[in-house]
Protein backbone atom coordinates (compact mmCIF):
# COMPACT_ATOMS: atom_id res chain seq x y z
CA UNK A 1 0.00 0.00 0.00
CA UNK A 2 1.43 3.40 -1.12
CA UNK A 3 0.79 6.16 1.49
CA UNK A 4 2.81 8.95 -0.14
CA UNK A 5 1.15 12.35 -0.48
CA UNK A 6 0.54 13.77 -3.91
CA UNK A 7 1.50 17.32 -2.77
CA UNK A 8 5.23 17.53 -2.41
CA UNK A 9 6.73 20.36 -0.37
CA UNK A 10 9.95 21.86 -1.68
CA UNK A 11 12.60 22.75 0.88
CA UNK A 12 14.20 25.37 -1.42
CA UNK A 13 14.00 29.14 -0.96
CA UNK A 14 12.79 31.41 -3.75
CA UNK A 15 15.04 34.48 -4.05
CA UNK A 16 13.07 36.38 -6.71
CA UNK A 17 11.12 38.51 -4.23
CA UNK A 18 14.33 39.30 -2.33
CA UNK A 19 16.02 40.58 -5.49
CA UNK A 20 12.99 42.80 -6.20
CA UNK A 21 13.36 44.40 -2.78
CA UNK A 22 17.12 44.91 -3.30
CA UNK A 23 16.55 46.59 -6.67
CA UNK A 24 13.90 48.90 -5.19
CA UNK A 25 16.28 49.90 -2.39
CA UNK A 26 19.05 50.49 -4.91
CA UNK A 27 16.83 52.76 -7.00
CA UNK A 28 15.70 54.63 -3.88
CA UNK A 29 19.27 55.33 -2.75
CA UNK A 30 20.39 56.32 -6.24
CA UNK A 31 17.58 58.86 -6.52
CA UNK A 32 18.05 60.35 -3.07
CA UNK A 33 21.82 60.60 -3.52
CA UNK A 34 21.33 63.01 -6.44
CA UNK A 35 19.37 65.50 -4.30
CA UNK A 36 22.49 66.62 -2.47
CA UNK A 37 25.05 68.01 -4.88
CA UNK A 38 28.12 69.21 -3.05
CA UNK A 39 30.16 72.07 -4.40
CA UNK A 40 33.39 70.71 -5.85
CA UNK A 41 35.27 73.95 -5.23
CA UNK A 42 37.45 74.31 -2.12
CA UNK A 43 35.54 76.77 0.04
CA UNK A 44 35.72 77.06 3.83
CA UNK A 45 32.02 77.46 4.64
CA UNK A 46 30.94 79.29 7.79
CA UNK A 47 29.45 77.28 10.67
CA UNK A 48 25.87 77.51 11.87
CA UNK A 49 23.79 75.82 14.57
CA UNK A 50 20.97 74.84 12.24
CA UNK A 51 21.56 73.40 8.83
CA UNK A 52 18.91 72.26 6.35
CA UNK A 53 19.28 70.57 3.02
CA UNK A 54 17.95 72.45 0.02
CA UNK A 55 17.47 71.01 -3.44
CA UNK A 56 20.22 72.86 -5.25
CA UNK A 57 19.35 74.32 -8.62
CA UNK A 58 21.92 77.08 -9.12
CA UNK A 59 25.17 77.28 -7.18
CA UNK A 60 27.16 80.50 -6.81
CA UNK A 61 30.59 80.10 -5.21
CA UNK A 62 32.95 82.84 -4.06
CA UNK A 63 36.41 81.62 -3.08
CA UNK A 64 38.77 83.22 -0.58
CA UNK A 65 40.66 85.01 -3.36
CA UNK A 66 37.35 86.52 -4.67
CA UNK A 67 36.95 84.26 -7.68
CA UNK A 68 33.31 83.84 -8.74
CA UNK A 69 31.76 80.59 -10.03
CA UNK A 70 28.24 79.89 -11.29
CA UNK A 71 27.47 76.15 -11.31
CA UNK A 72 31.21 75.40 -11.25
CA UNK A 73 32.07 77.65 -14.21
CA UNK A 74 34.33 80.59 -13.43
CA UNK A 75 33.04 84.05 -14.21
CA UNK A 76 33.96 87.63 -13.45
CA UNK A 77 32.21 89.98 -11.04
CA UNK A 78 30.80 91.97 -13.96
CA UNK A 79 29.68 88.80 -15.80
CA UNK A 80 28.07 87.29 -12.71
CA UNK A 81 24.64 88.78 -13.36
CA UNK A 82 24.55 87.54 -16.96
CA UNK A 83 25.70 84.01 -16.05
CA UNK A 84 23.29 83.83 -13.13
CA UNK A 85 20.41 84.93 -15.35
CA UNK A 86 21.27 82.21 -17.88
CA UNK A 87 21.47 79.55 -15.15
CA UNK A 88 18.14 80.64 -13.67
CA UNK A 89 16.48 80.61 -17.09
CA UNK A 90 17.63 77.02 -17.56
CA UNK A 91 15.96 76.00 -14.29
CA UNK A 92 12.75 77.85 -15.20
CA UNK A 93 12.62 76.03 -18.54
CA UNK A 94 12.63 72.74 -16.62
CA UNK A 95 9.30 73.68 -15.00
CA UNK A 96 10.51 75.35 -11.79
CA UNK A 97 8.49 78.52 -11.10
CA UNK A 98 11.00 80.22 -8.81
CA UNK A 99 14.75 79.67 -9.02
CA UNK A 100 16.78 78.60 -6.01
CA UNK A 101 20.29 80.02 -5.67
CA UNK A 102 22.62 78.42 -3.11
CA UNK A 103 25.55 80.63 -2.10
CA UNK A 104 28.78 78.79 -1.25
CA UNK A 105 30.83 81.64 0.17
CA UNK A 106 34.16 81.25 1.95
CA UNK A 107 34.11 82.52 5.53
CA UNK A 108 37.00 84.92 4.74
CA UNK A 109 35.04 86.72 2.00
CA UNK A 110 33.77 90.20 2.99
CA UNK A 111 30.05 90.48 3.69
CA UNK A 112 29.70 93.10 0.93
CA UNK A 113 30.30 90.40 -1.68
CA UNK A 114 27.62 88.17 -0.16
CA UNK A 115 25.14 91.04 -0.12
CA UNK A 116 25.96 91.98 -3.72
CA UNK A 117 25.43 88.44 -5.03
CA UNK A 118 22.27 87.95 -2.95
CA UNK A 119 20.95 91.27 -4.26
CA UNK A 120 21.52 90.22 -7.86
CA UNK A 121 19.71 86.92 -7.28
CA UNK A 122 16.84 88.63 -5.45
CA UNK A 123 16.36 91.09 -8.33
CA UNK A 124 15.85 88.05 -10.54
CA UNK A 125 13.13 86.84 -8.13
CA UNK A 126 15.17 83.85 -6.98
CA UNK A 127 15.13 82.31 -3.54
CA UNK A 128 18.55 82.76 -1.93
CA UNK A 129 20.08 80.28 0.53
CA UNK A 130 23.52 80.42 2.16
CA UNK A 131 25.36 77.11 2.45
CA UNK A 132 26.90 76.42 5.86
CA UNK A 133 28.48 73.50 7.62
CA UNK A 134 26.95 72.27 10.88
CA UNK A 135 28.46 73.48 14.14
CA UNK A 136 29.54 70.43 16.12
Cα–Cα distance for residue pair 33/57, rounded to 1 Å: 15
Fold observed for domain 47-134: Nucleotidyltransferase; domain 5 (3.30.420)
Q: Is the dihedral of CA 49, 136, 70, 36 positive or negative?
A: negative
Burial 16-54 (b: 16+ CB within 10 A, else e): eeeeeeeeeeeeeeeeeeeeeeebeeebebbeeeeeeee
End-to-end CA distance of the chain: 78
Q: What is the pLDDT of residue 51?
A: 58
pTM for the model? 0.60
Rounded to an integer, what is the distance from CA 132 to the centroid of its chain? 13
Answer whether residue 101 shows pLDDT above 80.
yes
Answer whether residue 54 shows pLDDT above 60.
no
Answer whether residue 36 shows pLDDT above 70.
no
Q: What is the pLDDT of residue 102?
A: 87
pLDDT in tens, 60-97: 888 889 899 988 889 988 898 899 888 888 877 665 55
Amino acid sequence: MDLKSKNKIEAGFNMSSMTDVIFLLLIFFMLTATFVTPSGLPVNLPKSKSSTTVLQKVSVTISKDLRFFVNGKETTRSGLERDLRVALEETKSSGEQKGVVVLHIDSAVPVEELVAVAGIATQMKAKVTIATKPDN
